[in-house]
Amino acid sequence: MNDTSSLHPILQPTFETVLQRNPGEAEFQQAVFEVMQSMSPIVGTHKRYAGRSIVQRICEPERQIIFRVPWVDDKGEIQINRGFRVEFNSALGPFKGGLRFHPSVNLSIIKFLGFEQTFKNALTGLPIGGGKGGSDFDPKGRSDGEVMRFCQSFMTELYRHIGEYTDVPAGDIGVGGREIGYLFGQYKRITNRYEAGVITGKGITWGGSQARKEATGYGTVFFADEMLRRVNDSFEGKRVVVSGSGNVALYAIEKATQLGAKVVACSDSSGFVVDEDGLDLEALITLKEVNRGRLHEYVEGRPHAVHTPTGQGSSIWDVPTDVALPCATQNELDESHARTLVKNGLKLVAEGANMPTTPGAMALFQSAGVLYAPGKASNAGGVATSALEMQQNASRDSWDFETTEERLRQIMIDIHDDVVNTAEEFGRPGDYVTGANVAGFIKVADAMLALGVI
């Protein structure tokens, strides 16, 4: 992996420096390598980007904060977690990106997410920089009281680093409406300010935006719909498989179904469900969002639904499908999964999750002629709608669902067109990876060059 010789010679020493500076950070190195692989057409022809410093600066976070998060569980025992906030790049606006609470969280994962976020946010065309944060805390199986105490302790350190004009967190894996509420509540208490624009993903009655909850999933499907439209096709009658069953997955399932597709499978970390009748979204939302249940409970009373537990040799990617929407986590779809999907007639992949496809799987999709969209383009609808939430907070206004959804749809169409046009301009028609990386890079690099060496 990460074979430096495949990079443009101008970029090889820069990537070597990234490897030396960030030892053992496999996910971060993978994300940087993927962007650098797309940069050949631009560093070769555009002298202002060819200097080592601009690419090197983009790979170096502006600030990285790591902190202790002590809290007391329901048994009265003290628990210690680790908190992170990586403020990656603020050339285009305040740092912006979600918080992830999951036991796998470490500095490498937060840095890869912050790096990707920088380009994704640039693609939205909205004034937001890139950042990411989180903790190795696992909310699964914890009581509401434990989650609240953890969130309050986390914010007791984080509050000093964030603000409407500096850094605006949001949700990600393990951080939904409940966690955002506890985090915002503690921020408000400590600062004595109702600064709604400090965090996004808030509830509708306390500063949130309509359609934010749905935005990442809907946006991914809007983006995929544009990809299909470009080749005179549509979601109508398509078979769709969506991995995950969290925030992004549930609303991707909803929008794909609304556009005429049949979504037959979804998953969680314990296994996957196939329902040949098409997934019953209402039941899934009650199960996952209201009851915080596990997916195997979905099949009870459904004769055509089958649950396969993780670790039994098969995966959700064995289910034949026209469209695959990976919406769970990084590196969940590898080369052997990709081979099976292609053999089964796959036409399109649009990533709802961040970096869910391994480099080998991505190369396989591209060489097999599968339409493939990287997450930094196709899942940008979540952060774009967060920026719309910030706009509403700043103007003390709130828009209705239809207005907000339509703005989201138009943003996804604009990102799609920008990515397609950039890929064509740089001699790679139909290559969404090059289009997204180059278009995002140019916006960030131009702003950084304009702002001087800071």
Asked if 38 and 439 count as a contact pair (C-beta separation under 8 A), the reply is no
DSSP 8-state class, residue 26:
H
Nearer of residues 211 and 346 to ligand NDP, judged by Cβ:
211
Q: Which is nearer to ligand NDP, 30 or 156 (CB)?
A: 30
CA atoms of 102 and 105, how far apart (whole Å): 6
Name the residue with tokens 């609470």: 101
Spatial distance between the Cα atoms of 412 and 155, rounded to a whole number of angstroms: 32
Residue 142 in 3-state DSSP? Answer: coil
Kindly list the residues in this chain that would bind ligand NDP in the complex (CB under 6 A).
171-174, 176, 216, 244-249, 268-270, 327-329, 352-354, 379, 382
Please say whether the beta carbons of 441 and 58 come within 8 A.
yes
**Residue of minimal CB distance from ligand NDP?**
246
Point out which residues pair with 100 in neighbouring strands: 134
Separation in Å, CA 424 to CA 46, 157, 420: 16, 46, 6
Residue 68 or 292 having the CB closest to ligand NDP: 292
Smallest separation (angstroms) from ligand NDP to the CB of 407: 16
Question: Is the Cβ–Cβ distance between 67 and 104 less than 8 Å?
Answer: no
How far apart are CB 260 and ligand NDP at their closest, in Å?
A: 23
Query: To the nearest whole angstrom, how small is the minimum distance from the Cβ of residue 145 to ligand NDP?
Result: 20
Residue 167 is inside which H or E element, if any? strand 167-170
Is residue 132 annotated as a catalytic residue, yes or no?
yes
8 Å CB contact between 240 and 249: no
Neighbouring CB atoms inside 10 A of 70's CB total 12
By CB atoms closer than 10 A (0-12, 13-18, 19+), residue 219 is buried
Cβ distance to ligand NDP smaller for residue 17 or 269 = 269
Min dist. Cβ of residue 194 to ligand NDP (A): 23
Which of 132, 188, 255, 443 is catalytic? The answer is: 132
Shortest spacing between CB 120 and ligand NDP, in angstroms: 8
Closer of 5 and 312 to ligand NDP (Cβ):
312
For ligand NDP, give the closer residue by CB, 155 or 328.
Answer: 328
Residue 243: strand pairing partners: 326
10 Å Cβ neighbour count for 313?
A: 6
Q: How far is CA 32 from the centre of its chain?
A: 16
Residues in the chain: 454
Ramachandran category for residue 77: left, alpha or beta (phi over 0 → left; psi -120 to 50 → alpha): beta
> Rounded distance, CA 43 to CA 156, Å?
43
**By C-beta, is 83 or 171 nearer to ligand NDP?**
171
What's the CA gap between 233 and 415, in Å, rounded? Answer: 19
> In whole angstroms, how close is the CB of 177 to ligand NDP at the nearest point?
10
Q: Least distance in Å: CB of 176 to ligand NDP? A: 6
Return contacts of 13-22, CB within 8 angstroms, 24+ apart. 13/52, 14/52, 14/55, 14/56, 14/59, 17/56, 18/59, 21/60, 22/108, 22/111
For the bound state, the minimum distance from the C-beta of residue 39 to ligand NDP, rounded and expressed in Å, comes to: 23
Do strands 130-135 and 167-170 pair parallel, antiparallel, or not at all (unpaired)? unpaired
Active site residues: 132
